[in-house]
Amino acid sequence: MASVSDLGLRHTYAGKVRDLYEFDDTHLLLVASDRMSAFDVVMNELIPQKGRVLTGLTHYWVREFASSVPSSLVTCDPAQIDVFIPGFAGKSPWHGRATLARKATMLPLECIVRGRLAGQAYDEYVKSGTVHQMAAPAGLRLTDPFPAPMFTPSTKASTGHDLNIDLSAAASIVGEDALAQAQTLCLDLFELAAAKLANVGLVLADTKFELGFIDDELVVCDEVLTPDSSRIWPAEHVHSGETPPAFDKQPFRDWLSAQTWDRTPPPPAVPDEVVAITSARYVEAYERVSGHSLDDWYGA
């Protein structure tokens, strides 16, 4: 199998889940690992198939909306990546987890769209009646829909936690024009995705997009509508005021929340059964959303 040095790649970034490699002036290789992050701490255990699920779902959504939503993604096909990076076809552990993408100048915002009241937005709403310091209708309960999806940005912190901000604060960071473009693109994609998911009995509660500029065009970058970036619920289990099961890392977080752990490294050892349940949840998310077996995705 070819090594990173054999492929001429420069490892330039290691995130909680993704590794980023450079090899020329206009492209990047993003590799989604099976690492699990919870409460901003990377766990010791790997979640089998997680990287393939994140990559496969991103590819699915980008291709699904290619005609209306521009993206930095070039290909996930190992044979096509090999054209750009000779020898990649022999690096089988990365197949299905690697994305060849165009380089972009990233927008320094987390672009979150919320269709329903949940997560941090719910905590703020209970406390102050607002969402990202913005007005929200009175009388909402957990999982209730907003009258229309809300664009609710946050900062992108290099260390520590991102901070939820309102539209005025976001405009002060990126400018009014870029914010307006981001808001329109993200709300359009959210509504398209929510309608698509509704057709298979799923509710898109919220999701986070990463955006960047390529040749002055604002495009979607990184992961798109995955279990790591979205809350997706089975429609039949969504009841006002109740927490529904989600196709994400919730089993992992629930187990960690029950432990006497201060949410700082090192994390506790997670039982094999929790790892297995979490892996199965990710695989189910891919197959239910895409309508395809994960066995048919690259790297099986």
Q: What is the pLDDT averaged over residues 248-272?
A: 92
How high is the mean pLDDT of the chain? 94
187 and 227, same domain (yes or no)? yes
Residue 115 is predicted with a pLDDT of 98
For 131, other C-beta atoms within 10 Å of its C-beta total 22
Helical (H) or strand (E) element with 219? strand 217-221
| 6 & 88 share domain | yes
Domain C-terminal end among 231, 249, 267:
249
Do 82 and 144 belong together in one domain? no
Residue 207 and residue 75 share a domain: no
**Stretch 179-192: mean pLDDT, rounded?**
97
Residue 85 lies in a domain: yes
The mean pLDDT value for 169-181 works out to 98
How far is residue 50's CA from residue 285's CA, in Å, rounded to a whole number?
11
Mean pLDDT, residues 26-36 taken together: 96
pTM of the model: 0.94
Token look-up 């002036």 returns 25
List, for residues 147-163, the tens digit of each pLDDT value. Answer: 999 999 999 876 667 89
Task: Label residues 193-215 b or e (16+ Cβ within 10 Å = b).
Answer: bbebbeeeebbbbbbbbbbbebe
Query: Looking at the domain assignment, is residue 300 inside a domain?
Result: no
Does the pLDDT at position 141 exceed 50?
A: yes
The token pair at 172 is 């002060």
The CATH number linked to 61 is: 3.30.200.20
Q: Give the structural domain span for 190.
A: 106-249
